[in-house]
Structure 1
């Protein structure tokens, strides 16, 4: 499955909003990482990842999120993940990443 990522900057909230559509897996993670690093380097701000259209994420995708978060924490910024499907929320809970990221399910 392919991955498309809509990205926009909210000037009012000074926050990037990334909306991945499809799957973040071993095949699509490099593209997602490229987009994530691009927005981190362009503006110093928090990033909201809207998972409404995210169907699946594997360990490679989780690794990309963790590396992005580490980079953001250097400037005291955060990744907030919203609108996740129940199966993906469960993955965050099983891995303990719900304690690392701000995760808000559907």
Structure 2
């Protein structure tokens, strides 16, 4: 169900490319395959953080359970400082991510090429230690203001 790829020149960046759909019928299989791949990679890399790209080009449908699997995978990756990005997201899936207010928790990129250009830029810029900056940071929420009591 999940194709796994390496990115030449970036040993800590890996791609998984699921196909078909991620829904009730297979979300557990998708998650287990993805997390097993991540665990194998981090073990081979002496537990250094990785950057996992999920290429959704061949995914036509993601339902709520599939979205839950993506969020669970994101949380698991963040525990050790690893990151996750989604790329090649179809308009329907992008709309679903926005409607469920989950678009901003993922680093969503148009293509793998966009990510690679950001990776190359971050490597050439020593002032930018991040692997990749988010392209859509969440909006800042202002703290509640203190209200003064009304006096008459």
Q: Please give the TM-score of this superposition, normalised by the length of structure 1.
A: 0.89
Please give the alpha-carbon distance, in whole angstroms, between the structure 1 residues aligned to 2:69 and 2:4. Answer: 17
Q: Which runs of 5+ in 1 are unaligned?
A: none
Instruction: Using the TM superposition, give the Cα deviation of residue 54 of structure 1 relative to its aligned residue in structure 2, in angstroms.
Output: 0.5
Q: Deviations over 1:7-53 (max 9, x none)?
A: 12335222110111100000011110111111221123111011111
Answer 1 or 2: which has greater strand percent: 1
Q: Which has the higher contact order (CA 8 A, sep 6+)?
A: 1
32, 39, 42: which one aligns with 2:40: 42
15, 26, 44: which one aligns with 2:13: 15
Report runs of 4+ in structure 1 exceeding 4 Å deviation. Answer: none
Paired residue for 2:71?
66
Please give the alpha-carbon distance, in whole angstroms, between the structure 1 residues aligned to 2:38 and 2:23. Answer: 21
Total equivalences in the alignment: 103
Q: Which runs of 5+ in 2 are unaligned?
A: 43-49, 112-152
Question: Is 1:16–1:39's contact at 8 Å kept on the other side of the alignment?
Answer: no
Paired residue for 2:129?
none
CA 1:94 to 1:105, structure 2 compared with 1: closer, same or farther past 3 Å?
farther
Query: SS where residue 79 of structure 1 aligns?
Result: strand
Q: Deviations over 1:45-93 (max 9, x none)?
A: 1110111111000111111111111111011111100001100000111
Answer 1 or 2: which has greater helix percent: 1
63, 69, 83: which one aligns with 1:78: 83
Q: Does 1:55 align with 2:60?
A: yes
Paired residue for 1:5?
2
CA RMSD in angstroms, aligned pairs only: 1.4
